[in-house]
A and B are shown apart, each in its own frame.
Chain A
Amino acid sequence: MASIDASGWMQRNGRWLIIFPPFMFLLVFFLIPFGFALMISFAQTAIHVPPYTSILSVTSGPQLNVQLHLGNYKYLFTDEVYVIAYLYSLRTAFFSTLICLALGFPMAYAISRTSKSTQNLLLLIIILPFWTSFLLRVYALEGVIRENGLINSVLLWLGLIHQPLQIMRTSLAVYLGIIYSYLPFMVLPLFATLEKLDHSLLEAASDLGSRPWRAFVDVTLPLSMPGIIAGSMLVFIPAVGEFVIPTLLGGPDNLMIGRVLWDEFFGNRDWPVASAVAIVFLVLLVGPIALYQHYRTKELET
């Protein structure tokens, strides 16, 4: 009977032994840190270690005082560098996402129409760079777009241009970097939805007299919406916070918020302002992240 008792105990408490470790780990090392960032965004810079004041103080009483310093947030909206950087980041991420979608949709659609074994091969080809070092791929792109890189060499050789194009250190380089780095993030979720697409619906549409283009707009596009949303969010959200690409490929004008945050933190060592930048940034992203989560849970349930 001992074994039955043991399994009964396992059933009652074993669940928590399984849930507890990952739950607590992610709670402490992923979720709670956001609380600290929020707290420190209300503190003031100070010259000690760590470089900020405590917002909590105990005065005689004993009484716990909370002192919230709103100056960091006010500063973000008065110094136009931050507003410009937020807007530039959102705009760059938005247009990069659109271009990724325009390029990624036909790719995913093409893969979904090939045979099963070709599909696996093509997916592997797309996934490989997805996992290959992000930093190194951005670095590698520099070899292609620099002044005497591949693109300029080929164009000069073809006689299409007579002067090398200046791509590095411009907005165009940042766009190319984001599209190149994030394209697989767009293709994979799109493929996942397009693969499940019921092709008999398209045939029904064409039987009913729809032209291929109409059938695509009326049937394929609405049905692939979950993939479009998931892919777009997977590109848009990290692209807004991109740091490596504007730093390595962009020029001094391509001020993205990730770079501002980095400089504030490492250059100025102003941790409270950096925290405030991060919190405002997070608030901007809550909508897109919630949208992504919503579609992801819906997809897992079906």
Chain B
Amino acid sequence: MPRRWDLSRRERTGTHMRSGPSLFLITMLCLGIAILYLPMLVLIAYSFNASALVSVWGGFTTSWYTQLLHNDQILDAAWLSLKVGVTASTLAVILGTLAAVALVRFRVFRGRFLLTGMVNAPLVMPEIITGITQLLLFVTMLKFFGWPHRGFTTIVLSHVAFCTAYATITVQSRLASADRSLEEAAMDLGSGPVRAFIDTTLPIIFPALASSWLLSFTLSLDDLVISSFVAGPGASTLPMVIFSKAKLGLSPDVNALASIIIVLVGICVLIAGVLMRRAERQRLADLQLAGE
């Protein structure tokens, strides 16, 4: 009577207990993770390679890293990328939060459909199309209004556009799950809606804002294609310099630079992840407290 046995086993373990992944699934998972990480680990290892021939191991060195500090082209590009990243992600978080509030709190308004589309489309739109269309806009604007000149301003504007999309999505999901009763209580006690929002809901969604800032920053720091179109001849961001070198093949100084960026971005993402998780745990704890 195998079926009866099945039933009793399930009763013992509880129906909500999930059976763990099978050996096949675990193998696939490990394979996938290896594919994702192996190239980056190889790259970082080779950035400490003393041999200028990228393929041969010639001993440990950090000289490629110190050489970076004397490369003006790379330093200028890094500075421009940092300025763009900070400006664009700050603006994107502001716009993204407003868009998220509009989409979550105002169920019906004229233009809702269009706003939803404009928030989601940049996530899938091939960068090369976004890049070319934005450049054509900037060129036409410059002709008629005398602004914006290609360079820092146009790079920031184009980055804000796609970062806003990511920021909106991140804040939107957090805001949708945020408890509104505190905000309503504040309004009952006489706070205006803006005041009530700032005092009660903003602290709750703050981790989402912080993590969407960090994620926008990494996206901006990474962008090559859109920046190449809108930057104009004078300005070069870090990815543009890396790309022009990478086209010629692997080189040890790019390996060093790439390792720095990978580690830096990794730290940003980890912080963002920790912030989100802590907020999630806090929310669950609050829910439990409210339940008791």
Q: Which residues of A contact B (CB under 8 A)?
A: 3, 6-7, 10-11, 14-15, 18-19, 21-23, 25-34, 36-37, 40, 50, 103-104, 106-107, 109-111, 113-114, 120, 122, 124-129, 131-137, 139-144, 146, 148-150, 179-180, 183-184, 187, 199-200, 203, 207, 233-234, 237-238, 240-244, 247-248, 258, 261-262, 265, 271, 274-275, 278, 281-282, 285, 288-289, 292-293, 296-297
Chain A residue nearest in CB terms to B118:
A26
Looking at the complex, which one of A134, A143, A146, A293 makes contact with B120 (CB distance below 8 Å)? A293
Task: Point out the residues of chain B lying under 8 angstroms from A30, CB to CB.
Answer: 118, 121-122, 130, 134, 161
Task: Point out the residues of chain A lying under 8 angstroms from B218, CB to CB.
Answer: 131-133
In the complex the two chains form, is B239's CB within 8 Å of A107's CB? no
> Which interface class (under 10, 10 to 19, 20 to 34, 35 or more) fits B?
35 or more
In the complex the two chains form, is B39's CB within 8 Å of A180's CB? yes
Looking at the complex, which one of B21, B99, B225 makes contact with A244 (CB distance below 8 Å)? B225
Task: Point out the residues of chain B lying under 8 angstroms from A141, CB to CB.
Answer: 39
Known A11-B193, A114-B21, A241-B128: A137·B40 in contact at CB below 8 Å: yes
A-B contact count (CB 8 A): 275
Whole-angstrom CA separation of A144 from B225 in the bound complex: 24
Task: Point out the residues of chain A lying under 8 angstroms from B32, CB to CB.
Answer: 103-104, 107, 183, 187
The smallest C-beta distance from B291 to any residue of chain A, in angstroms, reads: 19
Known A22-B164, A33-B137, A146-B250: A180·B128 in contact at CB below 8 Å: no
In the complex the two chains form, is B250's CB within 8 Å of A40's CB? no
In the complex the two chains form, is A15's CB within 8 Å of B133's CB? no
The yes or no answer to B180 lying at the interface (CB within 8 A) is no
> Chain B 239-257 against A: per-residue CB contact (8 Å), 1 yes, 0 no?
1001100110110001000
In the complex the two chains form, is A143's CB within 8 Å of B157's CB? no
Task: Point out the residues of chain B lying under 8 angstroms from A31, CB to CB.
Answer: 114, 118
Chain B residue nearest in CB terms to A50:
B139
Chain B residue nearest in CB terms to A107:
B32
In the complex the two chains form, is B124's CB within 8 Å of A143's CB? no
The smallest C-beta distance from A215 to any residue of chain B, in angstroms, reads: 12
**What is the predominant secondary structure among interface residues of chain A facing chain B?**
helix
Whole-angstrom CA separation of A183 from B34 in the bound complex: 12
Contacts A22-B96, A27-B114, A258-B225 known; 19 new A-B pairs at CB < 8 A = A21-B94, A29-B134, A33-B130, A33-B136, A36-B140, A40-B136, A127-B273, A128-B269, A132-B265, A135-B239, A139-B43, A139-B242, A139-B258, A142-B246, A180-B36, A200-B15, A203-B15, A233-B124, A247-B247
Task: Point out the residues of chain B lying under 8 angstroms from A25, CB to CB.
Answer: 95, 160-161, 164
The smallest C-beta distance from A10 to any residue of chain B, in angstroms, reads: 6
